[in-house]
Amino acid sequence: MSESRTESPGAAGTFSAADIKRRMAEREAQRAAEELRRLQAQEEQQKAVMAEFQKPPDRSPEQLMQMVMQLVNRAAERGQTEVQVYRFPNAMCSDRGRRINNAEPDWPQTLEGRPKAGYEFWRDHLQPLGFGLKAEILEYPGGMPGDVGFFITWK
């Protein structure tokens, strides 16, 4: 009688095609789990940075810079060329995001409150290092501009 082997290779070093497929599937599952862990860590870091921009400033620019650099580094390791660092309601723009939506060059002049402080942080600390800042409308509820996102960019 013929018997199918489903264990690791024995003394003779024989194994079945099913063994190879199973090991390949296990490795793929491990890679997928690691990728998921990396994505979750990046998402948590992203949330922490966005939360910092939402609160009144209680961290020094150096501390905030360290948090942003960690986020940028993780995104760069994944091959990304931008990372979202802030999300805010369009009501924090004097024109409710119209200039951002239309990519008008003077859009920073419409920022108020913490979004303005976020822009100034980029201008004073990140732009001199060669990082760009992209602002875009993230959603269109009812066909109208909704929340705005700030993205740190590099290439």
Residue 118 lies in a domain: yes
Which pLDDT band, with edges at 50, 70 and 90, does 54 fall under?
low
How many other C-beta atoms are found inside a 10 Å radius of the C-beta of residue 130? 9
Distance in angstroms (rounded) separating the CA atoms of residues 61 and 58? 9
Q: Which residue has the tokens 């993205």?
A: 151
61 contact partners, CB below 8 Å, separation of at least 6: 121, 124, 125
Confidence at 11, pLDDT banded by 50, 70, 90: low
| Number of structural domains found in the chain | 1
Asked, for residue 11, whether it belongs to a domain, the answer is no
pLDDT category of residue 49 using cuts at 50, 70 and 90 = low
Supply the range of the domain harboring residue 65. 17-153
CB 53 within 8 A of CB 118: yes
State both tokens at 89.
């309601």
In a domain, 6, yes or no: no
| pTM tops 0.85 | no
pLDDT surpasses 50 at 30: yes
pLDDT of residue 129: 96
7 assigned to some structural domain: no
Residue whose pair of structure tokens reads 């822009």 in the numeric block: 119
